[in-house]
Amino acid sequence: MAKRSTPELNAGSMADIAFLLLSFFLLTTTMEQNQGLPRRLPPMLEQEEKERVEIHRRNILQVHVNSADRLMVDGKPMEVQLLKEMVVTFIENPNNEETKPEKEDKEVKGLGIQKVSKGVVSLQTDRGTSYSMYMAVQNEIMKAYTELRNTFSSAKFGSEYNKLTEDQQESVRGMYPLNISEAEPRDTGKSKKKK
């Protein structure tokens, strides 16, 4: 019996085609990049400056999210949807209330000496806080600063903040600096066992 010959496939050209397809998809596909949260770290302080830094209680808005995703603002329960207005009122302090932040005379680039709020939003979460709740709280805080900046921009420059020139935006940021303090998450949801 004679041997049957089977035609062979040239696998080299298949590898070339697969490589070209892979290269094509790698070059034409766009990847979504995670931007992160825009936060500015405070400058390093010398030892003697650390001892002199003092923040009055009235200048801090304490925002706490527990492990059950419940929001507390200055020790009182609050719905996430109401946080934006609370932050706006706190930073603005329109009636100069004694329980809300002080305002200090500060040199603002392009605007001269202005009354700028000393208010700081202090955010504390638990280790069990869900990521979606954390982001919802962050979004509400950022919406508050966006609203403050847009309101001031419209009144001073006749346009929204994101449509201003870089110098004008810097002036608005000087009036409403992003003062958010974020503490390390803590474990408050677990009870400690007694020995």
Half-sphere exposure in the Cβ direction for 10 (13 Å, CA): 4
**Are the C-beta atoms of 118 and 101 separated by less than 8 Å?**
yes
pLDDT tens, position by position, 52-98 = 556 678 888 889 998 888 999 988 999 999 999 999 999 988 888 88
pLDDT tens, position by position, 110-128 = 888 888 888 888 888 888 8
Q: What number of other Cβ atoms are within 10 A of residue 169's Cβ?
A: 16
All structural domains of the chain with their residue ranges: 58-182
| Distance from C-alpha of 141 to C-alpha of 13, rounded to nearest angstrom | 57
Amino acid at 109: K
pLDDT of residue 81: 92
Q: What number of other Cβ atoms are within 10 A of residue 65's Cβ?
A: 22
